[in-house]
């Protein structure tokens, strides 16, 4: 019999919190069970496997990221929407490093909710890029470049990759402003 009050959603939420503390790659059922007040075998009443749990955490994190970026760009357009999106992206990654790591791999088709959440993230990004007149393949190319740049920065930042004394916020702002300049000319370059 499953523990009263424990649901798959609570297991996923606690796994996401644990991932933020120990890192997504270190997420384990052995560490999760005591946090939920159950023995390891009891977790299997709520989840099918660690891999399935990781996909659930990824779906949760992608939904949260989509919500954060959508809230940030709401009522904005063009450059202001883009800057707000980039800031929300970084804020989410810094506040939830384990969950953020769960958003990095592209969905494989194994988890419908993960695919839907990833599509929601992409739609927010494409909407922001449309303010630069980008659509179709140009928008996809631009979205990939944007993701590579923002992910590279936050990955280095969350892993202690910036040791110089220059203000990291300033460096991120300069990166985003440079991308903004690039996006302004992106459609013409394609």
pLDDT one-digit tens code per residue, 82-120: 999 999 999 999 999 999 999 999 998 999 999 999 999
3-state secondary structure 117-180: HHHHHHHHHHHHHHCCCCCHHHHHHHHHHHHHHHHHHHHHHHCCCCCCCCCHHHHHHHHHHHHH
Rounded average pLDDT over 10-23: 97
Task: Give φ, ψ of 109 to 5 degrees.
Answer: 95, 0
**Residue 121 pLDDT greater than 70, yes or no:** yes
pLDDT one-digit tens code per residue, 41-52: 999 999 999 999
**Residue 2 pLDDT greater than 50, yes or no:** no
CATH number of 57-189: 1.10.357.10
Contact 70, 117 (CB under 8 A): no
Boundaries of every domain in the chain: 57-189
pTM exceeding the 0.85 threshold for the entire prediction:
yes
**Residue 166 pLDDT greater than 90, yes or no:** no
């Amino acid at each position: 019999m499953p523990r009263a009050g424990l649901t798959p959603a609570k297991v996923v939420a606690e796994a996401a919190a644990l991932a933020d503390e120990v890192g997504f790659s270190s997420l384990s059922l052995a560490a999760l069970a005591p946090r939920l007040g159950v023995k390891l075998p009891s977790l299997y009443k709520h989840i099918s496997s660690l891999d399935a749990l990781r996909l659930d955490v990824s779906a949760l994190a992608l939904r949260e990221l989509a919500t954060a970026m959508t809230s940030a760009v709401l009522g904005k357009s063009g450059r202001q929407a883009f800057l707000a999106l980039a800031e929300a992206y970084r804020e989410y990654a810094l506040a939830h490093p384990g969950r953020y790591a769960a958003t990095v791999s592209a969905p494989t088709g194994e988890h419908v909710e993960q695919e839907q959440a990833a599509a929601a993230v992409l739609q927010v990004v494409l909407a922001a890029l449309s303010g630069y007149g980008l659509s179709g393949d140009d928008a996809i190319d631009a979205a990939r470049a944007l993701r590579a740049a923002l992910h590279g920065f936050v990955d280095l930042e969350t892993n202690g990759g910036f040791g110089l004394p220059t203000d990291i916020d300033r460096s991120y702002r300069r990166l985003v402003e440079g991308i903004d300049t690039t996006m302004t000319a992106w459609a013409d370059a394609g």
